[in-house]
Amino acid sequence: MNKLYKLYKLLKLYKPMNTTIISGRRISSARISTLNPREIFVFGSNKQGHHGGGAAFIAQKYFGAVWGKGEGLYGQSYGIPTMEGIDSFHKAVERFTSFAAKHPDLTFLVTAVGCGIAKYTPQIVAPMFQEASLLPNVFLPESFWDYISQPEEQTLNPSPTTDSTSDDSPANDSLHVSMLPCLGALIGDTVGSVYEFHNIKTTDFPLFDPMAHPTDDSVMTMAVAEWCLAEERTPEQLVNIMVEWGNHYPSAGYGGGFFTWLFEPEHLRSYDGIRIGKRAPYRSWGNGSAMRVSACGWVATSLDEALDLAKRSAEVTHNHPEGIRGAQATAAAIFLARQGRDKGEIRDFIESRFYYDLHLDCDDIRPQYRFDESCKDTVPPAIVAFLDSVDFESAIRLAVSLGGDSDTLACITGSIAQAYYKHIPEDIITQMRYRLPEDFWQVMEKLSDTIKDLPF
């Protein structure tokens, strides 16, 4: 029985290695039989969606491709029609590239599209994927890379600007970008994304894994940020904005209760088990309220306003006292950090107002800490990681090193650390330039314009 159980555990922990990176080339495996979560098998198809052979047959048999559907995302597969002529093929690749750029939470494993039944060669097909090759979530066959030019540090959508040399562009000013509201939260979420279910109990790890990506934490942080830009900031506005962002990024990894609230509200139940059956607050005490609250601490003109915005941002879903408390504690820490309060003052306020114990350090917490989605067991360790840090990067590393819900911990820690240290290293900003979609940068720029006249 023990041997069988160990085999079962090994099978559960097994993750297929479908990608590799060699000299900057992101290479998809030539033989893919199993996919990891959020990996997409990209195959050559035909307009009729008749998946009778080659990679198309594999896509239908194993990865969710649908007979009769020749193009687009189905299950964990994406079809590119290749049989209708070279111009039609090229346009389909352009549509795929646009789709991949809008879904940074997914990793696209491109097969030798068009080089089988369609009888094209890599020399003809590979240049069609030139723009796709610049996306960090697209991996191409090794045979394609010899025919793709790789301009130094070129990326498809690096930031809200396309002129990387313009002195007039604020997005290229590293100091300006360092202080774009909410960026610290997005960085923490992205760095922690690969460790959420594979915890690493050390601060010594590559800060940006090739698979690191923004998750639901980042998407909903942007939703709350957009709500903070509104004049009235009503609950109805926030709900509509959250649903809109959720529909735009449906595969970002939402938790079970929130996923139901977002996409299947007719099946919604409260955390108390009571059937609600519509999109409404569901008594959640989870850490989702704290992970998305960052903007409330940035736009507030007083501590009372920060607490009020945080409460209202939480209540549309997380109307349990613990859900509200976690959001308010996070927003308060951000606001106080922006004001230039020292760590002792921030710690004393959070402890006295919210009764969180912040006198442990990360070395005390780390050995016993496990995955916990509650606010009460996520927010205090996240704040401690900030308190123990010496700069922005060390704060992120400490948060991830605790284990548990790594992306959310680091998201909360990063939001406070950015406000406190007021500097994010340029190499970290560079990594984020091509990991965040354009609309994220646009919202942060608008927030920056909104708060530029505040005295702190």
> Same structural domain for residues 129 and 188?
no
Name every residue whose Cβ is closer than 8 Å to that of residue 160 and which is 6 or more positions away in sequence: 171, 438, 441, 442, 445
Q: Which residue, of 128, 145, 162, is where some domain finishes?
A: 145
> Same structural domain for residues 134 and 174?
no
For residue 93, being part of any structural domain is answered with yes
For residue 159, being part of any structural domain is answered with no
For residue 20, being part of any structural domain is answered with no
From CA 57, how far away is CA 46, in angstroms rounded? 12
Structure tokens at 2: 């023990």
Number of domains in the chain: 2
413 forms beta bridges with none
> Same structural domain for residues 198 and 119?
no
Q: What is the CATH number of the domain that holds 251?
A: 1.10.4080.10
For residue 1, being part of any structural domain is answered with no
For residue 8, being part of any structural domain is answered with no
Output helix, strand, coil percentages for the chain, rounded to the nearest 5.
50, 5, 40
> Same structural domain for residues 276 and 420?
yes
> Same structural domain for residues 237 and 102?
no
Structure tokens at 371: 């995955």
Distance of CA 238 to the CA centre of its chain: 20
For residue 303, being part of any structural domain is answered with yes
CA-wise closest residue to 361 among 383, 388, 343: 388
* Residue 79, φ and ψ in degrees, nearest 5: -95, 135
> Same structural domain for residues 36 and 109?
yes
Q: What is the CATH number of the domain that holds 116?
A: 3.40.220.10
Q: Which residue, of 145, 178, 196, is where some domain finishes?
A: 145
From CA 106, how far away is CA 78, in angstroms rounded? 11
For residue 152, being part of any structural domain is answered with no
CA distances 253 to 59, 92, 246, 257, 289, Å, are: 23, 27, 10, 12, 15
What residue numbers bound the domain in which 257 lies? 170-451
CA-wise closest residue to 339 among 443, 422, 231, 432: 422
> Same structural domain for residues 274 and 373?
yes
Query: What pairing do the DSSP bridges indicate for beta strands 39-45 and 138-139?
Result: unpaired
Its pTM surpasses 0.75: no
> Same structural domain for residues 192 and 308?
yes
> Same structural domain for residues 216 and 133?
no
> Same structural domain for residues 69 and 218?
no
For residue 156, being part of any structural domain is answered with no
> Same structural domain for residues 222 and 329?
yes
Q: pLDDT tens string for the chain (456 positions)?
A: 444 444 434 334 334 578 888 777 889 988 888 888 889 999 999 999 998 888 999 999 999 999 999 999 999 999 999 998 888 999 999 999 999 998 998 999 999 999 888 888 888 899 999 989 989 999 999 999 988 865 443 333 433 333 433 444 334 455 676 689 999 999 999 999 989 888 999 999 999 887 788 999 999 999 999 999 998 899 999 999 999 999 888 878 888 899 999 999 999 999 888 999 999 999 999 999 999 999 999 999 999 999 999 999 999 999 999 999 999 999 999 999 999 999 999 999 999 999 999 999 999 999 999 988 999 999 999 999 999 999 999 999 999 999 999 999 999 999 999 999 999 998 899 888 878 888 999 999 999 999 887 766
> Same structural domain for residues 376 and 276?
yes
